[in-house]
Amino acid sequence: MKTVNEIKSIVREKYGAIAAQNKSTVASCCTIAGCCGDSSSLMADSYNHLDGYVAEADLGLGCGLPTEYAAIEHGHVVIDLGSGAGNDAFIARRIVGESGKVIGIDFTEAMIHRARSNQEKLGFNNVEFRLGEIESIPITSNYADVVVSNCVLNLVPNKHIACSEIFRILKPGGHFCISDIVLTRELPESLKEIAEMYAGCVSGAIQESEYLRIIEEAGFQNVKIQKQKTISIPEDELVKYISADLVASLNIDASPIKSITVFAEKPAKDDRNCCEPNSSCC
């Protein structure tokens, strides 16, 4: 079992390397390409139809389109967690307009550098990128109208703290929209132990029911899944990592891996009075 620091080191190293590549050599964080070079994307959705799309900022690292379902409005303050090269942040920026603001958070310095480089080329003055971790988001409490994230929370070791941090930075009545990878049943331990697959989003995922429960326990309400799709990893790729028998058992019926886009709201009134950093219940 890897420690939290070991997991973070693996993910940081992986995404640091991705930040130095162009999209033609990066299919998705959530593909076998993320670990062995196959160029076929298994999980990423196309952004081409969304206003504000910047192809240079799209490294194909997502598993959904959270900005499309996030109910972002003109003038909103939006936080993008795991912002990468700026893809979702730039789309959100197009929606919030000049009176709004978008802040991208990423814990990989190379990604922050690439996002800032893209921002400078585009000349956007209401978008910024900050280095930081989702378990300790460098944002003031009750600051954001909307939080978005795309295929990132599954990589965070402590999802309880991550969800509590999202709750903390949202304004009362604010909401989040997150695309992520979840499981419908347990994966073999041997698959979970493959570091490359972890950095590719699969073995960092948890059961869908547990994922939704953690969100509710953080204090969110009106939790709903807006979109979902089954993810099937080709058997000829899986056998490179696990035995044929395990592959057969994994694919004996529907794939246990899903991409979901989840929406949830922070109550307009929070009577717990506990959502400051280091509080006992948030």
Answer yes or no: is 277 within a domain.
Answer: no
Tens of pLDDT, residues 12-62: 777 777 777 765 544 444 443 344 334 335 667 888 888 888 988 988 888
CA gap 97, 76 in Å, rounded: 8
Answer yes or no: is 141 within a domain.
Answer: yes
Looking at residue 37, its pLDDT comes to 38
Determine which of 38-52, 119-133, 144-158, 211-225 has the lowest per-residue pLDDT on average. Answer: 38-52
Residue 131 predicted with pLDDT over 70: yes
Domain span holding position 62: 4-265
Length of the chain: 282
Region 134-152 average pLDDT = 97
Answer yes or no: is 34 within a domain.
Answer: yes
Looking at residue 199, its pLDDT comes to 45
Looking at residue 253, its pLDDT comes to 56
Q: Which residue has the higher pLDDT, 169 or 28?
A: 169
Answer yes or no: is 116 within a domain.
Answer: yes
Answer yes or no: is 152 within a domain.
Answer: yes
Contact 59, 18 (CB under 8 A): yes
* Domain of residue 178, CATH code: 3.40.50.150
Which of the four pLDDT bands, split at 50, 70 and 90, describes residue 72? Answer: very high
Answer yes or no: is 273 within a domain.
Answer: no
- Most confident range, picked from 21-25, 150-154, 230-234: 150-154
Answer yes or no: is 237 within a domain.
Answer: yes
Other residues' Cβ atoms within 10 Å of the Cβ of residue 262: 26
Looking at residue 31, its pLDDT comes to 42
- pTM, two decimal places: 0.83
Residue 275 predicted with pLDDT over 80: no
Contact 228, 261 (CB under 8 A): yes
Q: How many domains does the chain have?
A: 1
Which residues are bridge partners to 131 per DSSP?
106
Answer yes or no: is 190 within a domain.
Answer: yes
